[in-house]
Amino acid sequence: MSQQNDTHLVLKAQDGDVAAFEQLIQRYQGRLFRTAYMVLGNRQDSEDVVQETLIQAWRRLHLLREPAAFRGWLLKICTNKVTSTVRRLSSHGTDPHDPTNFEELAGQKGSSVHAGSSASSETDPARTSEVNAQIMALADVLSTVSPELRACWALREVESMSYKEIAHTLNITESTARGRIARARTLIMQRMEEWK
> Going from the N-terminus, what domains does the chain have, and what CATH number goes with each?
1-92+124-194 (1.10.1740.10)
Greatest C-alpha distance within the chain:
54
> What is the reported pLDDT for 56?
95
How would DSSP label each residue in 42-84?
Answer: -HHHHHHHHHHHHHHHHHHGGG-S-GGGHHHHHHHHHHHHHHH
Counting residues of the chain whose pLDDT is more than 70, the rounded percentage is: 79
Find the range with the poorest average confidence among 55-59, 120-124, 147-151. Answer: 120-124
Confidence of residue 4 (pLDDT cuts 50, 70, 90): low
- Mean pLDDT is highest, among 58-62, 101-105, 133-137, for 58-62
The alpha-carbon radius of gyration of the chain (Å, integer) is 17
Q: State the Cα–Cα distance between residues 77 and 84, nearest whole angstrom.
A: 11
State pLDDT tens for residues 18-48: 999 999 999 999 999 988 888 888 899 999 9
Spatial distance between the Cα atoms of 41 and 119, rounded to a whole number of angstroms? 26
User: What tens digit of pLDDT does each residue of 64-104 get?
Assistant: 999 988 998 999 899 889 888 888 877 765 554 444 444 44
**What pLDDT score was predicted for residue 107?**
46
CA 136 to chain centre: 17
| Mean pLDDT score across all residues of the chain | 80
Contact criterion met (CB below 8 Å) for 140 and 102: yes
Q: How many CA atoms lie within 13 A of 26 on its CB side?
A: 8
Flag whether the pTM goes above 0.75: no
pLDDT (0 to 100) of residue 11: 95
Of residues 142 and 194, more confidently modeled? 142
User: Is the sign of the CA dihedral 101, 169, 191, 120 positive or negative?
Assistant: positive
Q: What is the pLDDT of residue 110?
A: 41
Question: H-type helices in the chain, by residue range?
Answer: 3-14, 18-40, 43-60, 70-91, 102-107, 119-123, 125-142, 147-157, 163-170, 174-191
Residues 6+ apart with CB under 8 A from 99: 41, 139, 140, 142, 143
Instruction: Look up residue 25 and give its DSSP letter.
Output: H
Give the three-state DSSP class for 92: coil
